[in-house]
Structure 1
Amino acid sequence: MVRVFIALGANLGEPRAALAEAQARLRPLGVAPLRRARLYRSAPVGPPGQPPYYNTALEVETALLPDDLLAVLKQIEATMGRTPGERWGPRVIDLDIALYGGLVLDTPELTIPHRELANRAFVLAPLCDLAADLEVPGRGATLAALLEALPRTPGDLEVVEHAVQDVRAAPIPR
C-alpha cells in the first residue's frame, strides 16, 4: 500500500456535497481514505465570473499504480458529471493526485508531485493540515515551507470547516 494525497475542489452545483460524494466513491474502487483536511473556500483561478471554489485534501492508501489511480479519479469525475471544458474553468468536481509516496513522475498524462502544487495555496493549505512536515519529493522543501513562501492576498483562502477528520470508519453510502 502507498500513502497518497489527493487534492479535491469544486465550484459548481453543491460543491460541499460533491466533495463528500467523491470521497465516498473512492473506497469501492480500491482507494482507502484515511483522513480529510479542513474545508477551504478559495477565490477561483482562471476565467472571471466563477463562483468560489471549495477545496480539501485526502490522505489515502492504495495498491493502485499511479496511472490506474488517475484512471479511477477520472472515472469518478466523469460519473459525477464533469465534462471537458475551459482550462481552470468552473467544475462540478476536480480530483488530482498531489503526492504519491515518494514518487517523482513526469509523463504526458501525469505529473507527480502535481505540477501546480507549489503555486497554489488552496492545494498546499489542505495538504499542510494532513502532513505539514512532509518533504515534497523533488522539491527539497516541506509542504509548510512551500505554503509559507507563497504570496497571499487577504480573502484568497478561508477555512469554512475547522476539523481534520479521520475518515477510515466512515460508512460508504449505498
Structure 2
Amino acid sequence: MIDVFLLLGSNLGDRQSFLSDARNHIKTGIAPIVSASSVYETQSWGKTDEPDYLNQVLYLKTGMPPQQLLETILGIEKLMGRKREEKWGSRIIDIDILFYGHEIINETDLKVPHPELHKRMFTLEPLNEIAPDFIHPVLNKSIFELKSELKSDLHVKKL
C-alpha cells in the first residue's frame, strides 16, 4: 500500500457539499481516508479575481497504480460536473495528487510530487496539519520546513 496525499478544492456553489461529495467518491472509488485536514478557506491563487476556495488535504493508503489513480480522480471530477475551460478558472471540484508515496513521476499528464505544492500556502497549510514530517522526495525537506520557508501574503483561514 502506498501513502497518497490528495488536495481537494472548490470555489463554486455549495463548496462544503462538493468537498463532502468528493470525499465520498474517493472513499468508495479509491480507498478509505486515513486522515483529513481541516477545511481551509483561501483566496484565489493564479487567477486572483475568482471566488475564494475551500481546500482540504486527504491522506489515503492505496494499491492503485498512479495512472489508474489519476484516471479515477478525473472520472470523479467529471461525474461531479467539473468542466476544464481555462487554467486556474473557477471549479466546483478540483482533486490534485500531491504525493504518491515518495515516488517521483514525470509523465506528460502526471507530475508527482505536484510541481507547485511548495509554492502554495493553501496546499502546505492543510498538508502540514496532517503530515508535518513527510519529506518532499525532490526538495528533501519536511512539509513543516516548506511551510515555514514560504513567504506568502495569500489569506488561508481554517474553518
Taking structure 1 as the reference length, the TM-score comes to 0.88
State how 1:61-76 maps to structure 2 within 5 Å: 61-76=61-76
Q: Which amino acid aligns with 2:145?
A: A
Measure the CA separation in 1 of the matches of 2:149 and 2:17: 32
Does residue 106 in structure 1 map to residue 106 in structure 2?
yes
Q: Is the 8 A contact 1:30 1:63 kept in 2?
A: no
Aligned to 1:59: 59
**Structure 2 stretches of 5 or more lacking a match?**
none
Between the aligned partners of 1:23 and 1:143, the Cα distance in structure 2 is: 23
Match of 2:157 in 1: 158
Q: Is the 8 A contact 1:82 1:91 kept in 2?
A: yes
Q: Please state how far the C-alpha of 1:50 moved relative to its aligned partner.
A: 1.2
Q: Match for residue 143 of structure 1?
A: 143
Query: Residue 128 of structure 2: SS of its match in structure 1?
Result: helix
Q: Does 39-48 or 114-123 show the bigger shift? A: 39-48
Matching residue of 2:32: 32
Secondary structure of the structure 2 residue equivalent to 1:5: strand
CA separation in 1, counterparts of 2:107 and 2:30?
23
What is the deviation of 1:47?
2.9
What's the CA shift for 1:84? 1.2
Cα distance between partner residues in 2 of 1:30 and 1:86 = 27
Greater Cα shift, 47-56 or 76-85: 47-56
Cα distance in 2, alignment partners of residues 150 and 127 from structure 1: 14
Aligned residue-pair number: 159
Return the TM-score normalized by structure 2: 0.96
Question: Residue 48 of structure 1: CA displacement?
Answer: 4.1
Q: 1:103: how far off?
A: 0.5
The 8 Å contact of residues 11 and 90 in structure 1, kept in 2 or not, is answered as yes
Measured on the aligned residues, the alpha-carbon RMSD in Å equals: 1.1
Q: 1:54 & 1:27 partners in 2: Cα distance?
A: 19
- What residue number does 2:11 align with? 11
Partner Cα separation in structure 2 for residue 16 and residue 116 of structure 1? 24
Percent of matched pairs sharing the same residue: 31
Equivalents in 2 of 1:51, 1:152: separation in Å?
19
CA distance in 1, matches of 2:3, 2:18: 23
Provide the rounded CA distance (Å) in 1 between the counterparts of 2:48 and 2:149. 26
**Partners of 1:13 and 1:105 in 2: how far apart?**
33
Structure-1 residue corresponding to 2:41: 41
Q: CA deviation at 1:156?
A: 1.1
Structure 1 residue ranges, 4+ long, deviating more than 6 angstroms after superposition:
none
